[in-house]
Amino acid sequence: MSEAVITEPNTGDIVRCDACPVLCRIRCGKVGACDRYANRDGELIRLDPLVVTEHAIERDGELVPFLDAAADWDGKLVAEPPVFVTGIGSGTTYPDYKPAPFIVATEWQGVDTVTVVTEGIFSYCGAKVKIDTDRHLGPEQAAIRVDGEPVGHVTTAEYGSQMLSLGGVRHLTGGSKREGTVTCATLLALCNGEAVDLTIDGGSTVTVQAGKAPVVDGEREERMRVGCGSATIGIFAKQWIGHADEVIVVDDHITGVLSEHQAGRFLDMRPAGIRVRGRKSTPGRYFQVAEPGSGWGGTDVTDPLAIIDRIDSRTAWPGERVLMVSTTGEDSAYFELDGDLRPVPMPMPAPLQVVVDRIAENCEPALCTVLFMGGAGGSLRAGVTENPVRLTRSVQDMITRVTCGGAPAYVWPGGGITLMADVTRLPANAFGYVPTPALVAPIEFTLPRAAYEQLGGHMASIRDLNAVLAQHPELRREPGRPGNPWPYDPPGDPKRRP
């Protein structure tokens, strides 16, 4: 049942919900604008169940609790795993003068621990999206649109990935009402693991779904690149020696030329006399050999010979063996120079095909990664303590651990509590929304009880974990995600302020 308070008397069969600033007036049997609260027989209820995550502890092969003489046995044949109360389904602290919906006390490894649990309303939030692809998605700073509305922009390209920044308060509230609504819906879908089609101005249409391969202009990406052209040469140079006289690895960022490269010189390769287009950086490394695109190595090239500027007759020779390959191994071609030093396509020799296949083998699967990012440095903290700056300092000093739905969160250094969480590490459908518009995200603060008291925490609102579980029999149990640290474990050695 919701912890929200009905702030005005019922008018017939209508109740007022105060779980967010919209303050819906909900008729009996109906739900509010966010689909999270409803009026049941004149009572405001939370529709989604409270979610707890379970932590499996290995007990040296012991399956029943009475085999452990030190453990309290409640008569059950099989021990129930420890649980952690998440913010999912907990309700919010809005208006923020009141304590969080759940302030839960338990003992973990001999330490009295408190977890403050709530669903935060995040107006300042967005998603950072990493797209594993060698293809050019769009120019940096280009607008990203959904249903024609701008919801974010392209940011820097990273090693084998394109980065997108979505949402943020200016898209949620700084534009038109429709822009804010579409932005909120886009963030909600992405954070809940749904697929969303993003259109980039001057670029591609990309289908993004957390933990899944991106689909670029209708084509599913299979792999991210093994490295830039220069790095690919550094990795595989020795494996080409004796099978090719020149290897050119085509890449949008740094195209590599083996015989000029330091790796080729170290292996005593003969200069091959083939000069590629672009701006030479250091020996064997060339920038801007072509325009960005969806062709070889993230360029607009479909014919690899197009990047050859000239062949030096003083250095090259008839019969010279040339391999051209992309940074993912998806594209490759083999040539031999004829008597006029023109590249002639030839069947790929088996030893070279082995290395081309090995490039592909060393490429990691292409995925979309979605990180929820939000600022929790505002009035949400009032639900934790009467002195909010102490919570901020406790988080910064690693005394208080911040989690989202029980999943680990990275807290940025500096002021405030700005956090990021991988949405695939949260339980399913962990995010909601309010039509202000803003996202609703679970957030938990866990710390020793003594430290919570020092914060000026709401000590009178603390409830025992077992009492919370007993009062919410409708709650949903979720197994803890593999790889997630258990939230009750300390976040690290506290760095106390002087």
pLDDT in tens, 339-373: 999 999 999 999 999 999 999 999 999 999 999 99
Closest Cα to residue 410, out of 400, 421, 401, 399? 421
Q: Name the pTM for this structure.
A: 0.86
Q: Band of the pLDDT at 72, cuts 50, 70, 90?
A: low
**pLDDT, position 96:** 74
Sequence-separated (6 or more) residues with CB below 8 Å from residue 219: none
Least confident stretch, 50-64, 85-99, 383-397: 50-64
pLDDT tens sequence across 397-420: 999 999 999 999 999 999 899 999
Res 495 pLDDT > 50: no
Strands (E), 230-364: 246-250, 255-257, 274-276, 279-280, 285-287, 308-311, 321-326, 332-337, 343-346
Name the more confident of 60 and 47. 47
Res 58 pLDDT > 60: no
The radius of gyration computed from the CA coordinates of the chain, to the nearest angstrom, equals 29
**pLDDT, position 172:** 96
CA 56 to chain centre: 25
Spell out the domain ranges in the chain: 1-47, 51-224+364-487, 243-352
Contact between 91 and 37 (Cβ < 8 Å)? no
- Average pLDDT across the chain, whole number: 89
Query: Per-residue DSSP letters for 24-57?
Result: -EEETT-B-TTSSEEEETTEEEESSPPEEEE---
Give the mean model confidence (pLDDT) for residues 160-185.
Answer: 96
Q: Distance between CA atoms of 76 and 56, rounded to whole angstroms?
A: 17
Name the more confident of 76 and 278. 278
Query: Which residue in the block uniquely carries the two structure tokens 């250094």?
Result: 413
Q: Distance between CA atoms of 472 and 49, rounded to whole angstroms?
A: 8
Name the more confident of 22 and 423. 423
Tokens coding 494: 């506290």
Q: Band of the pLDDT at 42, cuts 50, 70, 90?
A: confident
Give the mean model confidence (pLDDT) for residues 32-37.
Answer: 80
Res 112 pLDDT > 80: yes
